[in-house]
Structure 1
Amino acid sequence: MKITRVETLWPSSIEPAPFFFVQVYTDEGFVGLGQAPDARRTIPSVEEWARRFLLGKNPLDIEYFWNRAYEAAHYHGFAGAEMRAISALDIALWDIAGQVARQPIYQLLGGKVRDQIRVYNTCSNYRDLNDRILVRQKPLQLVEELVANGITAFKYSPFDHIADPTLGNYGSIDDIAKACEPIRQVYEKYGTSIEVGIEGHCKWNLPMATRVAQYLERFNIMWLEDLMQPDNPDQLARLRERTRLPLAGSERFFTRWQMLPLIRDGGTDIVIADVTWCGGISELKKLAVLAETFKLPIAPHDHTGPVGMYATAHVMANVPNGLVMETTRVFYNGYYSELVEPTITIRNGHLFLPEGPGLGTKLRPQVRERADIVIQGFE
Structure 2
Amino acid sequence: MSTIKGLRTLRIAERPNLIWLELETDEGLTGLGESFRGAEAVEAVLHEQVAPWLLGRDARRIEAVSRHLMTPYLGFHSAGAEIRAASAVDLALWDLAGQRHGIPVHEALGGACRTEIRAYNTCAGYAYNTSGVARRDIGAGDAAIGPYDDQVAFMRDAGALAESLLSEGYAAMKIWPFDVHAPASGGHLITLEQLKIGLEPFRKIRAAVGDKIEIMCELHSLWGAQAAERICRGLEDYGVFWAEDPLNKMDDAGALAALRRKTATPICGSETLAGTVPFRQLLAADAIDVVMLDLAWCGGLTEGRKIAALAESHARPLAPHDCTGPVTLMAGLHLALHAPTAIFQEVVRATLATWYRDLVTDLPVIQMGMVQAPTAPGLGTALSPALRARPDLKVRESRAS
Q: What is the TM-score with the length of structure 2 in the denominator?
A: 0.91
Give distance in 1, aligned partners of 2:75 and 2:259.
30
Aligned pair 1:209/2:228, yes or no?
A: yes
The residue type paired with residue 60 of structure 1 is R
Aligned pair 1:291/2:311, yes or no?
A: yes
Give distance in 1, aligned partners of 2:266 and 2:220.
16
- For residues 249-274 of structure 1, the C-alpha deviation after alignment (integer angstroms, 9 at most, x for no partner) is 01111111121111110110100110
Structure 1 window deviating more from structure 2 (47-56 vs 90-99): it is 47-56
Contact 1:187 1:220 in 2 (8 A): no
Contact 1:49 1:69 in 2 (8 A): no
Contact 1:53 1:65 in 2 (8 A): no
The unaligned stretches of length 5 or more in structure 2 are 128-144
Contact 1:157 1:199 in 2 (8 A): yes
Contact 2:387 2:393 in 1 (8 A): yes
- For residues 119-152 of structure 1, the C-alpha deviation after alignment (integer angstroms, 9 at most, x for no partner) is 1011212243422111110212221221122101
Aligned pair 1:329/2:349, yes or no?
A: yes
- For residues 343-374 of structure 1, the C-alpha deviation after alignment (integer angstroms, 9 at most, x for no partner) is 22112011111101111111121211112211
The residue type paired with residue 26 of structure 2 is D
- For residues 2-30 of structure 1, the C-alpha deviation after alignment (integer angstroms, 9 at most, x for no partner) is 11111011122037xx2111100111100
Give distance in 1, aligned partners of 2:153 and 2:96.
40
**Correspondence for 1:36:** 35
**Correspondence for 1:148:** 167
**Correspondence for 2:10:** 9
Match of residue 233, structure 1, among 253, 256, 277: 253
- For residues 220-257 of structure 1, the C-alpha deviation after alignment (integer angstroms, 9 at most, x for no partner) is 20101111121321111111111111100011111111
The residue type paired with residue 4 of structure 1 is K
The residue type paired with residue 294 of structure 2 is D
Aligned pair 1:369/2:368, yes or no?
A: no
- For residues 69-113 of structure 1, the C-alpha deviation after alignment (integer angstroms, 9 at most, x for no partner) is 122x23234321111111111000001111111111111111111
Contact 1:191 1:220 in 2 (8 A): no
Aligned pair 1:57/2:62, yes or no?
A: no
The residue type paired with residue 329 of structure 1 is R
Structure 1 window deviating more from structure 2 (131-140 vs 43-52): it is 43-52
Match of residue 314, structure 1, among 291, 313, 334: 334
Contact 2:320 2:333 in 1 (8 A): no
**Correspondence for 1:221:** 240
**Correspondence for 2:366:** 346
Partner of 2:294, secondary structure, is coil
Contact 2:77 2:277 in 1 (8 A): no
- For residues 143-167 of structure 1, the C-alpha deviation after alignment (integer angstroms, 9 at most, x for no partner) is 1221122101111211122121101
- Spell out structure 1 runs of 4+ moving beyond 3 A: none
Give distance in 2, aligned partners of 1:101 and 1:263.
35
Give distance in 1, aligned partners of 2:213 and 2:192.
24
Task: Report the alpha carbon displacement of residue 49 of structure 1 after superposing the two structures with TM.
Answer: 4.4
Task: Report the alpha carbon displacement of residue 43 of structure 1 after superposing the two structures with TM.
Answer: 1.1
Match of residue 163, structure 1, among 166, 174, 182: 182
**Correspondence for 1:74:** 73
Give distance in 2, aligned partners of 1:280 and 1:49.
18
Aligned pair 1:243/2:243, yes or no?
A: no
The residue type paired with residue 85 of structure 1 is A
Aligned pair 1:264/2:284, yes or no?
A: yes
Task: Report the alpha carbon displacement of residue 190 of structure 1 after superposing the two structures with TM.
Answer: 1.6
Give distance in 2, aligned partners of 1:51 and 1:364.
24
Q: Sequence identity of aligned pairs in percent?
A: 34
Give distance in 2, aligned partners of 1:115 and 1:4.
35
Give distance in 2, aligned partners of 1:363 and 1:47.
20
Give distance in 1, aligned partners of 2:118 and 2:56.
40
Task: Report the alpha carbon displacement of residue 330 of structure 1 after superposing the two structures with TM.
Answer: 1.1
The residue type paired with residue 326 of structure 1 is E
Give distance in 2, aligned partners of 1:374 and 1:233.
41
**Correspondence for 2:136:** none
Contact 1:78 1:254 in 2 (8 A): yes
Match of residue 211, structure 2, among 192, 205, 213: 192
Give distance in 2, aligned partners of 1:327 and 1:188.
25
**Correspondence for 1:358:** 378
Give distance in 1, aligned partners of 2:352 and 2:60.
30
Task: Report the alpha carbon displacement of residue 192 of structure 1 after superposing the two structures with TM.
Answer: 1.6
Give distance in 2, aligned partners of 1:65 and 1:226.
30
The unaligned stretches of length 5 or more in structure 1 are none
Structure 1 window deviating more from structure 2 (212-221 vs 44-53): it is 44-53
Give distance in 2, aligned partners of 1:8 and 1:281.
19
Give distance in 2, aligned partners of 1:187 and 1:356.
40
Contact 2:76 2:275 in 1 (8 A): no
Partner of 1:210, secondary structure, is helix
- For residues 280-314 of structure 1, the C-alpha deviation after alignment (integer angstroms, 9 at most, x for no partner) is 01111110001111111111111111111111111
Calculate the aligned-residue CA RMSD, in Å: 1.3
- For residues 322-341 of structure 1, the C-alpha deviation after alignment (integer angstroms, 9 at most, x for no partner) is 01111111111111111111
Contact 1:20 1:36 in 2 (8 A): yes
Give distance in 2, aligned partners of 1:3 and 1:245.
47
Give distance in 1, aligned partners of 2:177 and 2:301.
31
Give distance in 2, aligned partners of 1:356 and 1:58.
23
**Correspondence for 2:142:** none
